[in-house]
Amino acid sequence: MKIAVLTSGGDAPGMNPAIRAVVRAGLNSGHEVYGVMDGYSGLVEGNFEKMSRKSVSEILQKGGTILGTARMKDFHNKDVRQIAIDNMRKIGIECLVVIGGDGTYRGAQALTEMGFPVIGIPGTIDNDLAGTDFTIGFHTALDTIVEAIDKLRDTASSHQRCSIVETMGRNCGDLAIMAGLSCGAEFIITQEHKLNKNDLIEKLKVHKSEGRRNAIIVITENITNVHELADEITEKSGFACRATVLGYVQRGGSPSAEDRILAGRMGSFAIDLINNQTFGVAIGVMNSKMIYLPFEEVFQMKNESMEELYQLVSKLS
């Protein structure tokens, strides 16, 4: 078969190993593989590149995505998607592998409904997709956050400060929870575990009165203005508080071994599904096993929050 592969939405470390796996496993199964540049916009513009073993040489360790990625509003439009399908059919492409997050899956489902065979691979640092325990990129971003918090802890401890660290994750608290647990954070605030300012300030006062030298608060993005929160904590808790927004550094960097392995397994599994003519599905890893579910089912599932890990944070504090 002729297979196309693209990356879409926010870039995530591990997208390159996933592309490599799709290309290499695809070629080794006797398929032809085409890379699509810049996500769905490359499909619409007909920006395809035939891939060889060599096109994916030495990309395992590279962050970002060699195919480029994009956000394309127009892909919501059925006529625009029809151009994408026509472009693929023109050169004989029979199926598409997309690597991305929730929006990318919505686009994939829309193509599926128009009769084009698509397979989804979860690639986003946010870990905000249902139907998989982990998304490609999550563990690398987690390592980046842990490294940053460890450094902030040094300063917080030296100056007897409280430090607020804002992580990415959109509406998903997994990065904040796992980073907080890894770094011994005192408090974690996510969409599922809401901010109660008064309670937080009271706890910080107790913390201070017990003679603790510093405190780390990890908070998911889009919850509050962390700089204003830091000012209020400084004013009311007795701890001088500073906020750090980690931002895009979380999305970059060389993928961790865990993400490289996950990407390799998922990319290769996508080719297994193609060989079995299974389409319209998203790949996931659950309890360390590769699984797949129809896109529709993934959209209806709830992304499980890491409740047990969240509870552990206060038990170990």
Note the residues at the interface with ligand ATP (CB under 6 A): 8-10, 40, 71-72, 75-76, 100-104, 106-107, 110, 124, 126
**Among residues 99 and 226, whose Cβ is nearest to ligand ATP?**
99
In the complex, minimum distance from the CB of residue 174 to ligand ATP, in angstroms, rounded to a whole number: 13
**Among residues 41 and 214, whose Cβ is nearest to ligand ATP?**
41
In the complex, minimum distance from the CB of residue 239 to ligand ATP, in angstroms, rounded to a whole number: 34
In the complex, minimum distance from the CB of residue 111 to ligand ATP, in angstroms, rounded to a whole number: 8
> How far is the C-alpha of 274 from the C-alpha of 3, rounded, in Å?
9
> How far is the C-alpha of 178 from the C-alpha of 141, rounded, in Å?
11
**Among residues 1 and 83, whose Cβ is nearest to ligand ATP?**
83
> How far is the C-alpha of 222 from the C-alpha of 171, rounded, in Å?
8
End-to-end CA distance of the chain: 55
In the complex, minimum distance from the CB of residue 207 to ligand ATP, in angstroms, rounded to a whole number: 35
Dmax over CA atoms of the chain, in Å, equals 71
Residue found under tokens 């987690």: 142
79 included as an active-site residue? no
Burial status of residue 158 (CB atoms within 10 A of its CB: 0-12, 13-18, 19 or more): exposed
Phi, psi of 95 (to 5 degrees): -155, 160
Q: What is residue 11's three-state secondary structure?
A: coil
**Among residues 122 and 267, whose Cβ is nearest to ligand ATP?**
122
Copy the structure tokens of residue 98.
């997309």
**Among residues 15 and 230, whose Cβ is nearest to ligand ATP?**
15
> How far is the C-alpha of 57 from the C-alpha of 19, rounded, in Å?
11
Q: How many CB atoms lie within 10 A of CB 79?
A: 7
Instruction: Assess contact for 39 and 71: CB atoms under 8 A.
Output: yes
Residue found under tokens 């979380």: 250
In the complex, minimum distance from the CB of residue 200 to ligand ATP, in angstroms, rounded to a whole number: 28
Phi, psi of 219 (to 5 degrees): -135, 140
Phi, psi of 215 (to 5 degrees): -150, 140
**Among residues 7 and 163, whose Cβ is nearest to ligand ATP?**
7
Catalytic pick among 126, 128, 133, 259: 126
In the complex, minimum distance from the CB of residue 34 to ligand ATP, in angstroms, rounded to a whole number: 19
> How far is the C-alpha of 143 from the C-alpha of 165, rounded, in Å?
14
Residues carrying an active site annotation:
126
